[in-house]
Amino acid sequence: MARLCPHCGINSRFDRVFPSGSGKNCNDENGFHYIECCQECKGIVYSIWSVDRDAPMYKAVMSHESTYQKEKEDEEATPIEKFSYPFILMNPPITISDSFEKSFIEGVKCLNVGAPFASVVMFRKCLQIIAEDKGATGGTLKGKLGSLSASGILTSTLESISDVIREVGNDGAHPNKFEPSIDDAKDILDFLPLLINQIYILPEKAEKLRVRRTSSIK
């Protein structure tokens, strides 16, 4: 089964390095543990997969029953990847500053090791660096985002996304009722590049295209 490699970013198949060989398994109450190698870049991934141990197909395979009927395979629960390390290796889309790059990478590292509180706090810091880089005013991050919205840098959608990053980052830093999960941190990681793309990358591309067009008309 092909899946996205966190090292090369290619939808690749993986060879199991350990355990290897037919009939050999390394499993406990958490699931089946594997060390796998990407066929594209040879990057190593550690993963844990769960399966319905009561499924007839699972029992047949584990007991090496060669008489198990093929038509019953639809009863087998599909294995689900519960955990992988690294989850993702990602550098920031652009380098705003050394502090931004370090905070972004540290946030990703925290996510990789299953520390969502620390991860969302780092991503919130990235948001604050973006706001200050774009000339935001105000004593708090909420105020800074409001000033960017008032100046037109943030659209209503981007302001909403930014506010979620800010609020979840606060939840990670303070004892609030909402406690960020790994999935919440993954969502924030999706939001940040989107924000960067809209604020920095697309406007620059549009300006370059405008210059090329103007030059050709002349």
Residue 70 confidence (pLDDT): 45
Residue 74 confidence (pLDDT): 45
Q: Which residue has the higher pLDDT, 190 or 28?
A: 190
Which of 30, 54, 85 is a domain's end point?
Answer: 85
Q: Would residue 129 be called left, alpha or beta, if left means φ above 0 and alpha means ψ between -120 and 50 degrees?
A: alpha
**Structural domain containing residue 22:** 3-85
Number of domains in the chain: 2
59 and 157 inside one domain: no
160 and 110 inside one domain: yes
Asked if residue 137 has pLDDT above 60, the reply is yes
Q: What's the chain's Rg over C-alpha atoms?
A: 23
Asked if residue 93 has pLDDT above 90, the reply is no
104 and 70 inside one domain: no
Predicted TM-score (pTM) of this structure: 0.67
34 occurs within a structural domain: yes
Asked if residue 88 has pLDDT above 70, the reply is no
110 and 194 inside one domain: yes
91 occurs within a structural domain: no
Least confident range from 54-58, 73-77, 195-199, 208-212: namely: 73-77
